[in-house]
Amino acid sequence: MAKDLGSIPAVFPMPVLMVATYGEDGKVDVMNVAWGNICAMDKIALNLAPERKTLKNIRAKKAFTVALADEAHVKEADFLGTASGNTMADKFERTGLHASKSAHVDAPVIAEFPLTMECELVEERESFGEVKVTGKIVNVIADEKVLDADGKVDAKKLNALMFDQFRNTYYTVGSEIAKAWRVGAEFMKK
């Protein structure tokens, strides 16, 4: 029997996105964002609260990077989602992570995260008390250790974190169960 749960954000999994920017002082700022996803072939959308330092930085630089956090850095990713750059000046430094300047946009790339999208700000909209930031993905950087023999990202090697909003828990990818656009092909023949 089904049970009503009320109005809750019932999407699983949510990606754990690490959004990196430079502040006005040139310091690296990184924020863990669960409210974001791909919204077109070369676009990513993030929903940010208006008071976020990361939003202020994106507005100033018109650029940001989005990395996928991995299992090896779950502690750092979690911390970067709970500490605020508005109140903790050494937030990024506390993690021990390393950053370098993106070759394509005015934003940092965090060395330890296995996959990073370099993005230019293309649109910003306010709705429902949040600011939706849309970025154009101008380049993707992947650590060779997460690539397969054909040079494509292997989700199992990526060990990307997923956020479970039901239990406030992190997971990683499980077993492959089927090939997309193939497993349902039999229904095309009916």
Domains of the chain, first to last = 14-189 (2.30.110.10)
* Contact by Cβ (8 Å): 91, 84: yes
* Contact by Cβ (8 Å): 109, 59: no
Confidence of residue 100 (pLDDT cuts 50, 70, 90): very high
pLDDT (tens digit, 9 = 90+) per residue, 127-161?
999 999 999 999 999 999 999 999 999 999 999 99
- Cβ within 8 Å of residue 176, ≥6 positions away: 155, 156
Rounded to whole angstroms, the Cα distance separating 113 from 11 reads: 24
190 has a pLDDT exceeding 80: no
Q: For residue 175, count CB atoms less than 10 angstroms from its CB and return exposed for 0-12, middle for 13-18, buried for 19 or more.
A: exposed
Rounded to whole angstroms, the Cα distance separating 32 from 52 reads: 11
In this prediction, residues 9-23 reach a mean pLDDT of 93
- Cβ within 8 Å of residue 46, ≥6 positions away: 17, 19, 33, 35, 36, 66, 132, 133, 134, 135
State whether residue 73 is helix, strand or coil: helix
**Alpha-carbon radius of gyration of the chain:** 18
Residue 49 has a pLDDT of 94
